[in-house]
Amino acid sequence: MPHTNMTLVRAAVTSPFKKAGRPGATVPTDRAVLPAAPAVPGRLASYRRICGFSEPDTLPLTYPHVLGFPPAMRLMAARRFPLPVVGLVHTWIEITRHRVLRPTDRLELTVYADGLAPHRRGTEVTMVTEARLAGELVWESRSGYLSRHATDGAGGDDATDRPSGTGATDAPGRPETADGPGGPETADAHDPSPSPTPDTYPAPELPAVAEWRLPGDLGRRYGAASGDRNPIHLYPLTARLFGFPRAIAHGMWTVARCLAESPRPDEVRWVRADFRAPVLLPATVTYAAGPTGFQLRGADRVHLTGRTVTDAPGPQAGSAAATGGRS
């Protein structure tokens, strides 16, 4: 799996010449395509171990996004991309699985930008990753990446106040308050695409399920498994260079770990997660879940909120309400 180091270097060179928030800015129509190929067994095994997935016959729901992250980075680091990739922060993700995926499936991945949207603290780009099997769309993800800049305050979703990083990162930043924006939203279980207003709802207190002690080298271990070696995740020194007191956990690791802990991770067909506050490493966090979704909490803040829809009949965790979703 190609890592993003050279892309980050290129991004650091080109980003100072870009100015976010230019009137009339649009994203290029370029698409990055990875040829059809199965998952590399050793890399997939490493990813399963670090995230806690134990179902060997199915591909983890989050794994195609990991495979598509390097080409997404290349698109965002391109000269024609309107936002400076240095400082872009992954704020939310939605993943939809249209059929069960196997490790041996030869997935073709397509990645592209799907437009810019005004944000109360800047401009947000939506990046799309699609996986096809023999031409059939079998999996897709949509992710929001925020570029912070001065605005007139008339943008869309609320935002958290985050320090800049090196390149687009799935790491959440610092919230304005302990919990940041977001809260529950009622939604139809058969239409997992709600349009909540994030600052309308407080996040509910979900029942604690498990407590995890996260080691200081978690970012390096996940980076080795995923290919995302953003410096803010690796060492305290490299994290401090970009505004964090210590290395922080990857946001996509927190999503994957929560899914792996769910009762039926192989049956989850849709997930929505919002990154609300960074997890400074080492850390002790609480995984909480209930009929409204899931959370990852620290001692004084909520780091992640989300919900899922599963293939299983009957009541589904997260199918009736959302915690902190944005469309």
pLDDT in tens, 240-256: 987 889 999 999 999 99
Q: Which two tokens stand for residue 6?
A: 């050279």
Alpha-carbon distance 117 to 111, whole Å? 18
Side chain identity, residue 244: F
Query: Which residue has tokens 């995984």?
Result: 287
Go through the domains of the chain in sequence order and give each one's CATH number. 5-323 (3.10.129.10)
Give the residues across from 142 on adjacent strands: 94, 128
CA dist 217 → 1, 46, 224, 246, 255 (Å):
20, 15, 11, 11, 18
Residue 260: band (very low, low, confident or very high) from pLDDT cuts 50, 70, 90: very high
- The DSSP-derived string for 111-175 is EEEEEEEEETTEEEEEEEEEEEETTEEEEEEEEEEEEE----S--SS--------SSSBS-----
pLDDT in tens, 103-142: 999 999 999 999 888 777 788 999 999 999 999 999 999 9
Q: At what angle do helices 41-51 and 251-261 cross, to 10 degrees?
A: 80
Alpha-carbon distance 288 to 261, whole Å? 10
What is the reported pLDDT for 188? 26
Which segment of 100-109, 169-178, 217-226, 274-283 scores lowest on mean pLDDT? Answer: 169-178
Check: CB of residue 126 under 8 Å from CB of residue 113.
yes
Residue 15: band (very low, low, confident or very high) from pLDDT cuts 50, 70, 90: very low
pLDDT over threshold 90, residue 236: yes
Q: Which whole number is the average pLDDT over 5-21? A: 50
Q: At what angle do helices 218-226 and 251-261 cross, to 10 degrees?
A: 90
What is the reported pLDDT for 24? 59
Alpha-carbon distance 67 to 119, whole Å? 28
Side chain identity, residue 221: R
What's the 3-state SS for 280-297? ECCEEEEEEEECCEEEEE
pLDDT in tens, 286-318: 999 997 699 999 998 999 999 999 986 544 444
Q: Both ends of the chain: CA-CA distance in Å?
A: 30
DSSP 214: E
115-127 per-residue burial string, b: 16 or more CB within 10 A, e: under 16: ebeebbbbbbbbb
Rounded to two decimals, what is the model's pTM?
0.78
Alpha-carbon distance 165 to 168, whole Å? 7
